[in-house]
Amino acid sequence: MNPSIIAAFITGFAGPILVQVIRQYIEKKKEKPDMLTDALETSEKVMDKLDHIKAEYEADRVWITQFHNGGHYYPTGKSIAKFSLIYETVNIGVGSVQNNFQNIPVNLFSKSINYLLEHDIIEIPDYKDETISTYGLKYIAEDTGCKSGYIFAIKSFDGKFIGSLGMDYTKKKVKLTPEDVHHLFNYATSIGGVLSNHLES
């Protein structure tokens, strides 16, 4: 048989199969992006949002914490729930607190975390106002120079509490309007969507 006929037959038979295999490979790569690339893209999206929040509300420090496992209890072997400050943006002259909040057991902040779990938002326009509940955060505010603070629960698509969005004012006390608080809650929801996509990938 003529070699050109054989080649044409093989190409005609194998070509569509090869195209399908290549298409499946490309789709698979889309479904499971490279871990490093995905992490960098997520970080860029989140940091853009934090920088935008800081600029829009003239905040001095904006940050995000995320919950994670960290070690195990002895002798039960159960995981210890912890949180870490993963993302942060600060103004010039404002101290970073990111290194101070790594692998922190959630029980050390149970009052504020429980309140966020139930109410989604903590508003503290003046940490020195004795009539305002600070949910056990007053001493942290003193250590970090925070005069006013606002914290929002970050939840996943399916409603799981996965972290928090915080905004600090260190140079002056600031009382946000209800509209501002609602808008920031929407930011937290949007960030929850970005983080959920990253966690599920």
Residue 130 Cα to chain centre, angstroms: 31
Using 50, 70 and 90 to split pLDDT, how confident is the model at 198?
low
136-166 pLDDT tens trace: 999 999 999 999 999 999 999 899 999 999 9
Nearest to 50 by CA among 107, 21, 89: 89
d(CA 66, CA 83): 5
d(CA 27, CA 107): 43
Q: How far is CA 148 from CA 2, 43, 177, in A?
A: 84, 26, 13
Using 50, 70 and 90 to split pLDDT, how confident is the model at 36?
confident
d(CA 201, CA 193): 12
User: Is the pLDDT confidence value at 22 over 90?
Assistant: no
62-87 pLDDT tens trace: 999 999 987 776 677 678 899 999 99
Return the SS3 of 83: strand
Contact predicate 127/142, CB 8 Å: yes
pLDDT for 79: 82
pLDDT for 33: 57
Using 50, 70 and 90 to split pLDDT, how confident is the model at 31?
low
Share of residues in the chain with pLDDT > 70 (%): 79
Q: Output b/e per residue, 183-193; b: 16+ Cβ within 10 A.
A: ebbebbeebbe
pLDDT for 34: 75
pLDDT for 122: 98
Using 50, 70 and 90 to split pLDDT, how confident is the model at 191?
very high
Return the SS3 of 108: helix
The predicted model scores a pTM of 0.79
